């Protein structure tokens, strides 16, 4: 799963500026301001296309207020956070369209200057004060496994895709809401939200931190957590409000991408891990790290809190699987048995059993009374990449045999789901629609009917923009109109043909009637002539007889 596609590149990164002699900059140095430092740079690099007279993309860089307002894509600068600043991601070539266009990335010293200006509050001039927005907090809630009184669902379209790529990215993260027909799918610097009933796009959430490697809804479905980053450079976890798409909080400052993460059921903690082998747990109230554990000897690939919030499981690619006390971080169980990298973990809804999938092809079930493995079976030849418990205690898995499977709670196979183009990486079961979803290496998420295994449709990691959807709808409408016109023309031609046939038939009928009338008239005349002839003949006979009688007298 996340282990399979994680980047191997390892590099160090520092956002601090260095003085010309290579020493750290003097903390008492002058402020970095738009007027004195950033404006000359932006004029030189961007001013020809983005000025008050030529507002390409609606963006103006030579006026502070206009720059802070942003362009047609939204705000361009987020004071205090360069990673959330859209303009910064463009000039660093981490988002599209790359700026300046058809040119190399800005020199490192200019990138560093922009970063420092943004991180220090994006000041306008030396007399300005930093206006950095405070980090949002998330309220603690009661732990519950029942349906919430109000189910969270997007109140509006969450936004147009940030990036459109020429090729699909592998599905590195996939999750479904526990209470609403919603699915979240990883994309390049973004997260796509789909309606699992209609398979229509509900919008896209920007993730400028990099590639999402883990997506999870909170247990009540109100929040969406995303973890990821840039391999060998940075990693972070961000939490979104499902209804509004608003960023609620972000935690972590990893020097590599986050591969596994979860938010606790009471929403007070976020646990994360990745290539640095460290399990770290943060407070959602303050963003501060509560504790960290160094038990793992290789990349952490999966992290998940138990549904009751008591335990926390973490796994790595060196067969390591550990269960911790969530509150204290003390080790609870060290679960040994897998012979390959562990790719995923999932808790049974009652928190008593933990499922794990591994590159040894097996899925294992571990009970929490004694920490023993109670079930182990070969699920996918070549490697089991992902596992997910369903609400009723069944399991869905996917793996390197290009098949997704549904199992009962004892590991008995219920059904196979085929139709994936390449091997599966992520899997989820949507209890609201009784549908199975699996993402594969090719970038597609296949959606099946869980009851009969029939393919319902596919969604992907590269959703279309609204403009593309409108163009497609217009094209479809035009094609439909053309087809309707052609059909109308065909109907008109057929109607004309019928009318012509009817007219010809009428002519034939009229001619036949005339012929019949003529024939009838001829017959009548003949009969009349015969009658006249007969009458005349009789009269002649009578006259002859009368003459003979007269002569006789």
- What is the signed CA dihedral for 471, 474, 475, 479, rounded to 10 degrees? 170
Q: How far is CA 327 from CA 31, 264, 305, in A?
A: 42, 10, 11
Q: Could you tell me the two tokens for 542?
A: 């009578």
Distance CA 356, CA 364 (A): 5
Phi, psi torsion values for 366, nearest 5 degrees:
-120, 125
Cα separation, 536 vs 22, in Å, equals: 149
Distance CA 509, CA 11 (A): 96
Query: Coil, strand or helix: which one is 90?
Result: helix
Say how far apart CA 51 and CA 62 lie, in whole Å. 6
Amino acid 1: pLDDT: 55
Which pair of structure tokens corresponds to residue 299? 């990349």
CA-based Rg of the chain, rounded to a whole angstrom? 40
pLDDT of residue 244: 96
Beta strands at 300-305 and 362-367: parallel, antiparallel or unpaired: unpaired
Residues 204 and 191 sit within 8 Å (Cβ to Cβ): yes
Token pair for 342: 């562990």
Structure token digits, residue 356 = 């794990």
Q: What is the pLDDT of residue 128?
A: 84
Residue 312's nearest CA partner among 295, 287, 288, 337 is 295
Residues with Cβ within 8 Å of 518's Cβ and at least 6 positions away in sequence, in order, are none
Q: Phi, psi (5° rounding) for residue 35?
A: -65, -45
| Residue 148: burial class (beta carbons within 10 Å; 0-12, 13-18, 19+) | middle
Q: Which fold has domain 174-464?
A: Methylamine Dehydrogenase; Chain H (2.130.10)
Taking each helix axis from N to C end, the angle separating 108-119 and 39-46, rounded to the nearest 10 degrees, works out to: 130
Q: What pLDDT score does 138 carry? A: 85
At residue 247, φ and ψ (nearest 5 deg) are -75, 125
Look at residue 3 in the predicted model and tell me its pLDDT.
53
DSSP state of 35: I
pLDDT score of 183:
99
For residue 333, what are the β-bridge partners?
323
Here the contacts of 201-204 (C-beta below 8 Å, separation 24 or greater) are 201/463, 201/464, 201/469, 202/154, 202/157, 202/158, 203/154, 203/156, 203/157, 203/158, 203/159, 203/160, 203/245, 204/158, 204/159, 204/160, 204/161, 204/162, 204/463
**In Å, how far are 220, 223, 409 from 147, measured between CA atoms?**
7, 15, 22
Joined tokens for residue 55: 């507002």
- Which pLDDT score is estimated for 17? 29
**Residues whose CB falls within 8 Å of the CB of residue 488, separated by 6 or more in sequence, listed in order:** none
Domain boundaries, the chain: 19-119, 174-464, 484-553
**How does pLDDT run along the chain (553 residues), one tens digit per residue?**
555 554 333 333 233 323 333 333 444 456 899 999 999 999 888 877 888 888 888 888 889 988 888 887 777 888 888 887 888 988 898 888 888 888 889 999 999 999 999 988 899 998 887 766 655 568 888 898 899 999 999 999 999 998 888 889 999 999 999 999 999 999 999 999 999 999 999 999 999 999 999 999 999 999 999 999 999 999 999 999 999 999 999 999 899 999 999 999 999 999 999 999 999 999 998 888 999 999 999 999 999 999 999 999 999 999 999 999 999 999 999 999 999 999 999 999 999 999 999 999 999 999 999 999 999 999 999 999 999 999 999 999 999 999 999 999 999 999 999 999 999 999 999 999 999 999 999 999 999 999 999 999 999 999 888 787 778 778 888 888 888 889 888 888 888 888 888 888 888 888 888 888 888 887 777 777 777 667 666 666 776 777 777 677 6
pTM for this one? 0.67
Which tokens hold the place of 95?
Answer: 């988002």
Measured distance CA(218)–CA(262) in Å, rounded = 8
Number of helices (H), then strands (E), belonging to the chain: the values are 6, 28
């Amino acid at each position: 799963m996340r282990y399979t596609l994680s980047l191997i590149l390892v590099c160090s990164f520092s956002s601090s500026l260095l003085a010309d002699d290579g020493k750290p900059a003097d903390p008492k140095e002058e402020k970095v301001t738009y007027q004195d430092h950033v404006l000359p740079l932006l004029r030189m690099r961007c001013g020809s296309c983005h000025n008050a007279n030529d507002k390409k993309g609606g963006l103006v860089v030579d006026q502070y207020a206009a720059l802070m307002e942003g362009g047609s894509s939204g705000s361009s600068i987020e004071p205090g956070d360069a990673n959330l600043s859209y303009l910064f991601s463009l000039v660093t070539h981490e988002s599209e369209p790359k700026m300046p266009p058809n040119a190399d990335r800005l020199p490192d010293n200019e990138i560093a200057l922009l970063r420092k200006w943004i991180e220090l509050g994006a000041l306008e001039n030396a007399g300005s004060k930093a206006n950095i927005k405070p980090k949002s907090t998330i309220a603690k809630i009661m732990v519950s496994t029942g349906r919430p009184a109000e189910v969270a669902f997007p109140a509006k379209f969450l936004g147009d895709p940030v990036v459109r790529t020429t090729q699909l990215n592998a599905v590195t993260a996939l999750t479904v809401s526990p209470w609403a027909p919603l699915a979240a799918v990883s994309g390049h610097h973004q997260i796509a939200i789909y309606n699992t009933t209609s398979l229509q796009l509900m919008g896209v959430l920007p993730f400028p931190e990099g590639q999402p490697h883990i997506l999870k809804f909170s247990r009540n479905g109100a929040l969406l957590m995303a973890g990821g980053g840039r391999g060998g450079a940075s990693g972070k976890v961000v939490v979104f409000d499902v209804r509004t798409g608003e960023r609620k909080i972000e935690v972590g400052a990893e020097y590599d991408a986050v591969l596994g993460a979860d938010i606790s059921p009471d929403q007070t903690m976020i646990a994360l891990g990745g290539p640095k082998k460290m399990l770290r747990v943060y407070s959602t109230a303050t963003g501060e790290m509560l504790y960290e554990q160094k038990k793992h000897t290789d990349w952490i690939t999966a992290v998940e809190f138990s549904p009751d919030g008591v335990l926390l499981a973490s796994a790595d690619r060196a067969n390591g699987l550990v269960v911790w006390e969530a509150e204290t971080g003390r080790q609870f169980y060290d679960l040994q048995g897998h012979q390959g990298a562990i790719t995923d973990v999932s808790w049974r809804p009652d928190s008593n059993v933990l499922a794990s999938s591994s590159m040894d092809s097996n899925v294992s079930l571990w009970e929490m009374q004694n920490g023993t493995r109670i079930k182990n079976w070969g699920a996918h030849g070549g490697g089991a990449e992902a596992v997910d418990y369903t609400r009723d205690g069944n399991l869905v898995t996917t793996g390197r045999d290009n098949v997704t499977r549904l199992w009962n709670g004892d590991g008995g196979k219920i059904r196979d789901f085929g139709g994936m183009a390449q091997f599966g990486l992520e899997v989820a079961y949507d209890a609201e629609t009784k549908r199975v979803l699996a993402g594969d290496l090719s970038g597609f998420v296949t959606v099946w009917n869980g009851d009969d295994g029939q393919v319902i449709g596919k969604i992907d990691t590269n959703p279309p923009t609204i403009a593309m959807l409108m163009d497609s709808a217009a094209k479809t409408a035009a094609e439909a109109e053309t087809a309707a016109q052609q059909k109308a023309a065909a109907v008109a031609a057929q109607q004309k043909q019928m009318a012509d046939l009817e007219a010809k038939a009428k002519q034939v009928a009229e001619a036949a009637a005339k012929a019949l009338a003529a024939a009838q008239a001829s017959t009548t005349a003949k009969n009349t002539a015969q009658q006249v002839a007969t009458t005349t003949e009789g009269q002649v006979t009578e006259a002859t007889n009368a003459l003979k009688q007269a002569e006789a007298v």
